[in-house]
Structure 1
Amino acid sequence: MPLSRSRVAVAAAFLAQGLVLLSLTTRLPELQDEWGLSDVALSLVLLMMILLAGVGSVVAEALAKRRDSALLLRAGLLLVGVAVPVICLAPTTAVFVAGVAAYGLALGVVDASTNMQAVALEHRYERPILPSFHGAWTLGGVLGALLTLATSDLPLEAGAALGVIPLSVAFAAFLPRDHGPTELAAQVAVPWRPIVLVGIAMVLFYMVDTAVQTWGPLFLDHTFSTPERYVSLSALGYLLASGAVRIAGDPLVRRYGAVAVLRVGALVGAAALAVVVFSTSWPMAVAGFSLLGAGVAVVAPLSFSAAARIAGGEGLDPAVRQARVDAVIARFNQFNYLGALLGSVMTGLVGADSLRVGFAVPMVLVLGIIPLAAAFTPRVAASVRG
């Protein structure tokens, strides 16, 4: 199978994941009103979803040692395609919560398996291509936010049609694993300690990223007299700026190095969140969210690339190496959900009385990326293999 077909298929999976997630999160004000949820109750529902996403990623890690990541990705996308209509068409609160639970589990499987596929393709291409895949996710998020903006007058039930997108992508030509000695692949040791520094940086990124996607629309809705159709602009501005920087990410990193790009981005991110926290109007807050997207855009793709280097395995049988990398990526993906917990749950709970206070927490914590940036250099990654 030509690599180009697999690359398009994996990019489509990233795009579908971003589109569905942002379509749902930018509809949170509607969902909150539909089911009469307080900010605290909504935080608990989001906590459940994120914990189950973590479970999905753990399941992906366990299965990746013996099963093809392409199979895991198909299964995850099919479950997303079922869960979305359940969320949008739920007749009772219990069914709504069940739909969110199923979506959370699928979210973890798809997050892990898309990055497994992306890292495998990057290895085949022998050059950095992770930012382009994460850029496809961002493009999907932009489309999801625009879709919410364009369909704000339609009933919530119309969102059920989104389930068609992951269902159709599930049958794309994903990259199959080179089959080899699977009994050895299942016994591959997964390095853990060397991943922690890079993982902490990714926690800080996803703390910011999830806070914006989850609470940005509610921040505009609760803090200002923002017209309802414009509350999705918080996420849209963030994603547009993030996508633009991710497209330019490869040449930026080649020219200035990962350490410099990450450190400058952390400073920009903290300044952008300060604009949000002290904003005096909703357009000013949207500008802050947009600047934030530009600042932190490349943290996630650089994190997954660094984790793959840490996994090592050069010179091993291709099937063994791929099993090793898949298991590392799935485990590394757990940092995603720790950051999501901080971003969605902590921001909501700390900001229960004022979301300005909720966003002040990531404003300070994002600066932690500055001392962690050194862990992203190839020299550090190479020194800790195995």
Structure 2
Amino acid sequence: MPGMQISRARVATAAAFLSQGMVLLSLTTRLPDFQDRWHLSDVALSLVLLMMILLAGAGSVVAERLAKRRDSALLLRTGLLVIAVSVPVLCVAPSAGVYVAGMAGYGLGLGVVDASTNMQAVAIEHRYGRPILPSFHGAWTLGGVLGATLTFGMSHLPLEAAAVVGVVPLLVSFAPFLPRDHGPTELSLEVAVPWRPILLVGLAMVLFYMVDTAVQTWGPLFLDHEFTTPERYVSLAAIAYLLASGAVRLAGDGLVARFGVVPVLRVGALIGAAALAVVVFSPGWQVAVAGFALLGAGVAVVAPLSFSAAAKIAGGPESEGGFEPAVRQARVDAVIARFNQFNYVGALLGSVMTGLVGAGSLRVGFAVPMVLVLGIVPLAAAFVPKAAASLGSR
């Protein structure tokens, strides 16, 4: 029965990742439609997105605070239900104010789901005793592809039809997620969260999300501005990136088990830098699309391996048996929620810095992450923490 429970929880958590990616990409690919409906300028739309990212960060902080006393399964269900309500609100909003309120609710729910899906994933990975986080993030990418495809297939329908995607997180909220063994209540109230030991891993995740957000936000515009790309093909920048990323993430468990975390990260960073060079110096849009696909393959496993490394630091040295299960899970849940903040730092850098630096030419904008992504090479060693490393620091 325990084996059946963990298998069901793995499928449920993968479904939560998939629904998260599906909803996010179905909304971001509809942004031009929302902009037209509410007559939002580029600046106004940027402010709405900034609000959403900041509230997602706030949602992740809320998850961190509650993780010390509440089950991550409960947090995940709550976040999914908030998204399930917010998406129809922002899609069928009768006014711009209601649309903004819906985006605010979605941002909060997104932050809670971001944190709690990874809490569930690292808990399940610990039970399995081998790397499985890349496949969870692969499910997110698959969901993103499905969301973008759904938008393409429903492009002829009224914007209100996009509200149907809210049914997905609603259904997933009833899935059998992994419950936490809380143990004595007082243990879960005394959670010492290590912080300094995970900063290097967090910095690598910032670099990844800087690249990831830059591609999804500015990749289609790069094809549109730098080349005479047919309008129907500009979305290929993000789609090629997501497809390649998803394929590598689904294979990532085996790659890490065979070659090890550090070599996979270092080779991936080098591939990512080379891929961005292909994009920056591409003579035509077809070559740029190939560069974005190669980039997705190169950096795909950085985020899942970051969460896995943070969980190992939080869980205590394996050589000493770690902490009691209840204490370990409370520590890990709190760390993962806080660690998730690096996601939003990278997202802000990718969406803002790339656009500002590339105001004259997006080739210059993408040259910045081309160089910075190489920072993952020296940071890769931090993903395999030494048993005696500063666990007491925080």
Residues 1:362 and 2:365 aligned together: no
Residues 1:188 and 2:191 aligned together: yes
**Consecutive unaligned residues in structure 2, runs of 5 or more:** none
Instruction: Tell me how far 1:11 sits from its aligned partner.
Output: 0.5
Deviation string 1:319-362 (CA, Å, 9 cap, x unpaired) is 22111110011111111111111112222333344433332222
Aligned to 1:75: 78
Q: What amino acid does structure 1 have at the position aligned with 2:25?
A: L
**SS at 2:121 equivalent:** helix
**SS at 2:332 equivalent:** helix
Instruction: Tell me how far 1:225 sits from its aligned partner.
Output: 4.1
Distance in 1 (CA, whole Å) between partners of 2:208 and 2:254 is 21
8 A contact 1:39–1:352 mirrored in 2? no
Distance in 2 (CA, whole Å) between partners of 1:38 and 1:155 is 21
Please identify, of 169-178 and 143-152, the stretch whose mean Cα deviation from structure 2 is larger: 143-152
Please identify, of 149-158 and 32-41, the stretch whose mean Cα deviation from structure 2 is larger: 32-41
Instruction: Tell me how far 1:369 sits from its aligned partner.
Output: 0.8
Instruction: Tell me how far 1:87 sits from its aligned partner.
Output: 2.3
Instruction: Tell me how far 1:248 sits from its aligned partner.
Output: 1.9
Deviation string 1:251-291 (CA, Å, 9 cap, x unpaired) is 22233222221111112112222222333433222212111
Q: What amino acid does structure 2 have at the position aligned with 1:165?
A: V
The alignment yields a C-alpha RMSD, in angstroms, of 1.9
Aligned to 1:343: 350
Match of 1:32 among 17, 29, 35: 35
Residues 1:376 and 2:379 aligned together: no
Q: What amino acid does structure 2 have at the position aligned with 1:383?
A: A
Instruction: Tell me how far 1:381 sits from its aligned partner.
Output: 6.0
Residues 1:323 and 2:340 aligned together: no
Instruction: Tell me how far 1:363 sits from its aligned partner.
Output: 1.8
**SS at 1:248 equivalent:** helix
Residues 1:114 and 2:120 aligned together: no
Instruction: Tell me how far 1:98 sits from its aligned partner.
Output: 1.7
8 A contact 1:310–1:382 mirrored in 2? no
Please identify, of 70-79 and 241-250, the stretch whose mean Cα deviation from structure 2 is larger: 241-250
Q: What amino acid does structure 2 have at the position aligned with 1:343?
A: G
TM-score norm. by structure 2 comes to 0.92
Distance in 2 (CA, whole Å) between partners of 1:152 and 1:221 is 19
Where in structure 2 are the equivalents of 1:31-180 lying within 5 Å? 31-180=34-183
Q: What amino acid does structure 2 have at the position aligned with 1:329?
A: I
Aligned to 1:233: 236
8 A contact 2:57–2:344 mirrored in 1? yes
Distance in 2 (CA, whole Å) between partners of 1:39 and 1:364 is 28
**SS at 1:383 equivalent:** coil
Alpha-carbon distance change, 36 to 215 in structure 1, aligned in 2, over 3 angstroms: farther
Match of 1:385 among 383, 386, 391: 391
TM-score norm. by structure 1 comes to 0.94
Q: Give aligned-pair identity as a percent.
A: 81
Moved over 4 A (4+): none
Deviation string 1:132-184 (CA, Å, 9 cap, x unpaired) is 11111111111112222222333322211111111110111111111311222
**Consecutive unaligned residues in structure 1, runs of 5 or more:** none
- Count the aligned residue pairs: 385
